[in-house]
């Protein structure tokens, strides 16, 4: 969505400036701004330029089109390059994760408007930002267990640091959440009604060159209103009770013990996911809880991708979701009981080339 009347230059990523505000707009609206390797590199280049430019006080990141900010990485490309052994899949993940880490420590205010669909790689571009805005239409999710993958782009850091077990629920079920729940889970900071976004962007563009993070926050707060309540408030105790366990089997048993529609739906949803992905995801989330920082989680996720690109569930999940679109993946192994510790441990084997350093 274009919030400012300004000339932006680029193709898949548009960049420009208005006043002291640097602008980055994802520009693949037909595929809900799904990320390509070229886009990751263009964003990195834009951030380099804005960081070095003393006349830029803050950066605003948005997505073009009406459907959403960013639906994630371009998984069709990952599917094709991974199957053929082309290094593009690994290159994309490496550079994307490094970008996520940079966003987390970017020295200037990095403001992102998470309008519409914000999933997967879109969460990587937004969840680590200094100023994270959700709107009436925000639909946020980490749906990776449904394609034989796991929550990545630093999500194992974000999900493992949510209040209670909200992150465990989000990571295992992949269920989309609205703006109120995104704030409750710590994935966003404030809610701004869509009708106010253009005026907000104009006010940000009018900030003086020397504006700091507090000045940016003050502007945003003048447009923020209470977010609509989501489903977490009513189900928080159940989520904390059922998702506190360190095995997927015990989580299923806890959900079975609840006489509750929310619990039944959560279990039914998880039963459609890759059993391997469920167990790997839970292990990564529990490891994230004791990790010192975002970069540690990103490095661990990158290690796990070396195994995921060898795992049949990843290709089967994408086939069922976007290639054949039959929505009927045949997971291997098909049962939780058949996903032994050795299968999970393979995702934690160190890579010869680390992500950072």
Which residues are known catalytic residues?
A: 73, 121, 144, 152
Q: Which 3 state secondary structure label does DSSP give 59?
A: strand
Cα(267)–Cα(321) distance, integer angstroms: 20
Cα(104)–Cα(86) distance, integer angstroms: 29
Residue tagged 């929505």 (tokens): 327
Cα(215)–Cα(203) distance, integer angstroms: 11
Q: Where are the beta strands (DSSP E) in the chain?
A: 9-10, 13-18, 21-26, 58-63, 68-70, 110-114, 117-119, 131-134, 139-141, 190-191
Cα(324)–Cα(318) distance, integer angstroms: 9
> Integer distance in angstroms from the first to the last C-alpha of the chain?
37
Helices and strands counted in the chain (H then E)? 16, 10
Contact 4, 36 (CB under 8 A): no
Q: What is the DSSP string of 126-194?
A: HTTSSEEEE-TT-EEE--GGGGT----TTHHHHHTTSSTTHHHHHHHH---B-HHHHHHTTS-SEE--G
Cα(195)–Cα(202) distance, integer angstroms: 13
The rounded Cα 53 to chain-centroid distance in angstroms is: 28
């Amino acid at each position: 969505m274009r919030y400012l009347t300004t000339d932006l230059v680029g193709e898949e990523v548009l960049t420009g400036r208005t006043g002291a505000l640097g602008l980055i707009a994802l520009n693949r609206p037909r595929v809900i701004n799904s990320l390509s390797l070229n886009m990751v590199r263009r964003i990195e280049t834009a951030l380099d330029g804005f960081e070095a430019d003393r006349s830029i006080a803050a950066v605003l990141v948005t997505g073009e089109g009406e459907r959403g900010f960013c639906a994630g990485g371009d998984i069709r490309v990952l599917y094709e390059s991974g199957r053929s052994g082309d290094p593009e899949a690994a290159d994309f993940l490496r550079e994307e994760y490094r970008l996520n880490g940079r966003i987390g420590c970017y020295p200037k205010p990095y403001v992102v408007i998470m309008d519409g669909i914000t999933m997967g790689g879109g969460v990587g571009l937004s969840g680590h930002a200094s100023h994270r805005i959700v709107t009436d239409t925000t639909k946020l999710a980490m749906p990776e267990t449904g394609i034989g993958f796991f929550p990545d782009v630093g999500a194992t850091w974000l999900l493992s640091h949510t209040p209670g077990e909200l992150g465990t629920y989000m990571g295992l079920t992949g269920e989309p959440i609205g703006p109120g729940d995104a704030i409750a889970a710590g994935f966003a900071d404030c809610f701004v009604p869509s009708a106010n976004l253009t005026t907000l962007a104009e006010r940000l563009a009018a900030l003086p060159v020397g504006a700091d993070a507090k000045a940016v926050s003050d502007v945003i707060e003048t447009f923020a209103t209470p977010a609509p309540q989501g489903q977490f408030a009513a189900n928080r105790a159940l989520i904390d009770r059922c998702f506190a366990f360190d095995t997927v089997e015990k989580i299923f048993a806890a959900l079975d013990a609840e006489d509750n529609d929310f619990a039944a739906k959560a279990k039914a949803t998880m039963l459609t996911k890759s059993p391997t992905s469920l167990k790997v995801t839970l292990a990564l989330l529990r490891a994230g809880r004791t990790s010192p920082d975002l970069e540690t989680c990103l490095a661990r996720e990158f290690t796990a991708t070396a195994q995921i690109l060898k795992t049949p569930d990843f290709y089967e999940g994408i086939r069922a979701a976007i290639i054949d679109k039959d929505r009927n993946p045949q997971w291997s192994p098909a049962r939780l009981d058949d996903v032994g510790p050795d299968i999970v441990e393979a995702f934690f084997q160190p890579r010869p080339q680390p992500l950072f350093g």
